[in-house]
Amino acid sequence: MNERPLKTVHVSAAIILRDSQNGGKEVFATERGYGDWKGWWEFPGGKIEAGESASAALVREIREELCAEVSVGERVAVVDYDYPDFHLCMECFAARVSSGELKLLERKSATWLDAQTLCSVKWLPADEMILEKVKELASKAGIKKRALDMYIGTQKSMPPADVAVRLAKALGVTVEYLVEGQDSASTETVDIKLKNDLKNIPTNLREKILETIHLISKKYIK
């Protein structure tokens, strides 16, 4: 006797990221407070309605569940998982809060997790399948931040010009960008190149680094 196929539930999930103080990223996780999976953790989101795109569903669900607006980025993964009563197809997107604050309207609790603490909660089986990809997202800026720590605040006895050069190397910015001409066209080019090289570093830290490099290079590098 053939078993009846499981009903497919199509959902969209948000991997909501924010910059952390250590230079990496943190991801927002919520805990279920009801049903068979009470006490298990998941990425927020919900069902995709008929005629609705996955990204539009995600924006709507976060607004309804967490009272905030999000900007939806790249699709990180698509998960297919058989729960006892249904088959889940879950499209997972990177996202950031664009306005408002995340507030729990339907969930038991929530927390921000980084790459080191990501596995410290009990994830729903389908969500657990993408943890390695989420960990990669949360770790992206960490490598450059560790390089920065080697040069900022530890080279006080070094001549300022050397600090600028070493800082540039730590960030993967070639030294030539520090000694280009001072006309407006080349300065604009330098800014664009630097910002591209620093794109994985949190915005507030990135702007301070740019300011530091420009001030040091202008004053000490001829």
For 137-196, write each residue's pLDDT tens digit: 887 654 445 444 544 455 455 555 555 556 655 555 544 444 444 333 334 444 445 555
Q: What are the start-end ranges of the H helices in the chain?
A: 54-66, 125-128, 131-139, 142-151, 160-170, 184-197, 203-220
Pairing of strands 109-113, 86-100: unpaired
Those residues with Cβ within 8 angstroms of residue 197's Cβ, 6 or more apart along the chain or in another chain: 171, 172, 173
pLDDT of residue 20: 76
pLDDT of residue 176: 45
pLDDT of residue 184: 34
Q: Is the pLDDT of residue 221 over 70?
A: no
The radius of gyration computed from the CA coordinates of the chain, to the nearest angstrom, equals: 22
Q: Please give the average per-residue pLDDT across 86-114, as a whole number.
A: 88
For 27-66, write each residue's pLDDT tens digit: 999 998 888 899 999 999 999 999 999 999 999 999 999 9
Those residues with Cβ within 8 angstroms of residue 126's Cβ, 6 or more apart along the chain or in another chain: 79, 81, 83, 88, 90
Those residues with Cβ within 8 angstroms of residue 73's Cβ, 6 or more apart along the chain or in another chain: 93, 94, 95, 96
pLDDT of residue 180: 42
